[in-house]
Amino acid sequence: MKIRCWMAACCLSLTGYGAIAQTYLQGATIIDGTGGPAIEDGAIIVANGQLACVGSRQQCRPLADSVIVDIEGRFITPGLVDAHVHFGQTGWLDGRPDGISAPDVYPYQKTANDAKANPGRWQQSYLCSGITAVFDVGGPFWTTQLRAAADNNPKAAHVKAAGPLISWAGREQMQLNDEIYSFLPMGSVEESLASVSKLKAMGAQAVKVWFLAPPADQRDGMDQRMLAIGAAAQQAGLPLLVHATSLREAKVALRAGAHMLVHSVSDLPVDQEFLDLLIENNTVYAPTLVVGSGWTRALTSIVFNTPAPIDDPNGCVDQQTIDNINQPNLLREYLPDRLDNQWAYRRLEGVGHELALLEENLMAVHAAGATIVTATDAGNPMTLHGPSIYAEMEAMQSAGLTPEQIIVMATKNGAKAMQDQNRFGTLEAGKAADLLVLRQDPREDVAAFRTLSHVMRAGVLRKQSELAYRAVNN
């Protein structure tokens, strides 16, 4: 017997059916994430958490006992991949005491313990926002343990995590005098190699280097260590991820074999040498366009003692985070003196200029043919786990990329960055049944991802509102 559902009715609680042989989604326009043409009036067969067939209704036919879900007039895409997040950070300054340290208001040890105790808080935000896979590119050791439990869990996004990051800038600069979040050192070539070995031993799924531009007299030594780390990561079978926002250091990272640059180059326009290295290495470029303005909004909200607006169209941000953002007054007395009104206005004025360079570099990288991903840096102040992906995709669109290009970057390319392209990222038979149902056409405007009506993860279809922390009017 077929159980027939419509989007507003019984299909919303498919989970209640227990062991369903097959779910058959019919009638939507399917955008499969490969960049190929969309399938109008398409059909998708889901069985055992996987996609069994994706195509036309003629190509994919239901079995006698399939649960049939009618979704005419809607749009199906793969689940989104956020290629740069931090489970160890909260979306507010309590998770970044190097920004403003306020131990009496937000004891960092407590913030760190809370993050460790409840990664499900962000997992819910991700699914609620349509994100079904995330790459944690730096954080406490425990983040490296999230992957196994998340993989086939319909209540969690897939995770890959780099764990503690290697940096020449240590605890003093970060003011992280706690035992949970520790940097690994790169004080010499030997120390750098030991740091890679340590990551391998703890089960990290990548090696991340926080490669800040060093003082000029230390450059040569630092370059050598970067190259040594690259060789060691390759030997360990771990992808090398590098934070290198200066053009010079980004080139060193590419020479070291970086699998992904986790941010834009932001100090200078990229040049041909950089683009050649990027293409030669097949390195993934993660622009993270909006995280800088998130910091600006967070800090200026404290200077002006006015909460920053929260961009959360689907109710996906947890109440604790919202409460923190809405109380900038708690941090006012901890503001460093230099962060005064003058500073705030200058910083607000500078946001557009900074973004213009990031956009220019993004389009140059795109024109060169490099692999680009959608990546938010979620967990940083005002770059919220989950919904920040909408603003990031819209910023990519404003930079000049087309919605169809961005959809591929936010799905297939994200899976490639995670080296999981054989398991998810596109809607193809044999891959994980991770998909989104949208009310509006994302090929017209990526803002359509805000009109998410349903999320399927590992074959379990849920109404978006079931994943939300609060009801919203839309």
Stretch that binds Zn ion, among 164-172, 210-218, 375-383, 437-445 (CB under 5 A): 375-383
Q: Rounded to an integer, what distance in angstroms lies between the CA atom of residue 367 and that of residue 397?
A: 15
| 246 or 327: CB nearest Zn ion | 246
Stretch that binds Zn ion, among 116-124, 371-379, 389-397, 448-456 (CB under 5 A): 371-379
Number of residues forming the site for Zn ion (CB under 5 A):
1
User: Tokens in use for 388?
Assistant: 């920040």
Interacting residue with Zn ion among 312, 377, 420, 434 (CB under 5 A): 377
Q: Rounded to an integer, what distance in angstroms lies between the CA atom of residue 140 and that of residue 181?
A: 5
Q: Measured from the CB of residue 138, what is the shortest distance to Zn ion in angstroms?
A: 6
Q: Measured from the CB of residue 321, what is the shortest distance to Zn ion in angstroms?
A: 17
| 359 or 377: CB nearest Zn ion | 377
| 208 or 457: CB nearest Zn ion | 208
Give, in order, the Cα–Cα distances in Å from 153 to each of 64, 157, 337.
28, 8, 47
| 377 or 394: CB nearest Zn ion | 377
What part of residues 6-45 is at the interface with Zn ion (CB under 5 A)? none
Q: Rounded to an integer, what distance in angstroms lies between the CA atom of residue 228 and that of residue 204?
A: 18
Spatial CA neighbour of 127 closest among 172, 178, 82, 177: 82
Kind of pairing between the strands at 42-47 and 50-56: antiparallel
In degrees and rounded to multiples of 5, residue 128 shows phi and psi of -55, -30
Q: How many C-beta atoms lie closer than 10 Å to residue 345's C-beta?
A: 13
Q: Is 359 in the site for Zn ion (CB under 5 A)?
A: no
How buried is 29 (Cβ within 10 angstroms: 0-12 exposed, 13-18 middle, 19+ buried)? buried
Stretch that binds Zn ion, among 45-53, 210-218, 220-228, 370-378 (CB under 5 A): 370-378
Spell out where 312-459 has E strands. 371-372, 435-438, 452-457
Spatial CA neighbour of 70 closest among 131, 127, 24: 24
Stretch that binds Zn ion, among 21-29, 116-124, 373-381, 395-403 (CB under 5 A): 373-381
| 7 or 378: CB nearest Zn ion | 378
What part of residues 252-311 is at the interface with Zn ion (CB under 5 A)? none
| 108 or 469: CB nearest Zn ion | 108
Q: Which residue is at the shortest CB distance from Zn ion?
A: 377
From residue 435 to residue 454, the character string flagging contacts with Zn ion as x (rule: CB under 5 A) and all else as - is: --------------------
What part of residues 91-110 is at the interface with Zn ion (CB under 5 A)? none
Where do contacts with Zn ion occur on this chain (CB under 5 A)? 377
